[in-house]
Amino acid sequence: MLTENEETNIQPPADQAAEENSVIQNEQQSANNRNFFQNNKWKINKSNKINQDLKLSLNKLSSLNYHDIKEEIFNICVNYYSKNGYYARLINKVQSTEGYIPTFGEYKKLTENKYARGILRGWYGNAKYEPGALVVASSAGSWSARNIKLGLILRSNATLPVSYGKGNKIYHVLDIPTNKKYFLEERHLKHAKSQKKKKKKTK
């Protein structure tokens, strides 16, 4: 789970920020002439979704050569372990040597344990929420997630996962009522329910 400080310190690259602003503008345009604070019926104009999510999916991995795939996987695991203190000697050696090439044993040690598999699953797995989706906090939501009244997904794979458990993919989420942005794990979110008008029964 991301702490409040971690959420505050993470800043998306400029190109990602531009695409996220496009998602917000599309949402605002589709919500014209409707009063969210009175009826809570904001809708997404699905035809205005951003063209491409920048996450590196498994499909994209298939277009890379074997060396590139292994290098990316190794670097993802190095990033994860550099933040929790495990394998410190190996991590320091990798980070202090430009273009470091691990031995077979080092590569296997860092990438083939249950924690690494969880991180890789979170990064390469399919996103449950696409940009433009409306979400609220799940029952297991973190404190930050519970601050969201109605969230708009700006991006999936906003950062590398920080925990290895199921539902660890990270999203950049805009809370529409407050205009605040959060980095939240998938397991802390759920789809917002749309409120449908009840049909009057005809006699």
CB-based burial of residue 23 (10 Å sphere; 0-12 exposed, 13-18 middle, 19+ buried)?
buried
Mean pLDDT of 149-174: 94
In a domain, residue 14? The reply is: no
> Alpha carbon 123 to chain centroid distance?
9
In a domain, residue 155? The reply is: no
Q: Are 131 and 22 in contact (CB under 8 A)?
A: no
Between CA 27 and CA 23 the distance in angstroms is 6
Q: In whole angstroms, how large is the CA radius of gyration of the chain?
A: 20
3-state secondary structure of 78: helix
The CA-CA-CA angle for residues 124, 140, 153, to 5°, reads 50
The pLDDT value recorded for residue 182 is: 93
Residue 62: domain span: 58-124
Q: How many distinct structural domains can be found in the chain?
A: 1
Phi, psi dihedral angles at 190 (to 5 degrees)? -150, 160
The CA-CA-CA angle for residues 99, 104, 109, to 5°, reads 95
pLDDT band at 47 (very low <50, low <70, confident <90, very high): very low
In a domain, residue 170? The reply is: no
pLDDT value at 166 more than 80? yes
The pLDDT value recorded for residue 42 is: 35
The pLDDT value recorded for residue 177 is: 93
In a domain, residue 183? The reply is: no
Q: Which amino acid is at 150?
A: L
In a domain, residue 119? The reply is: yes
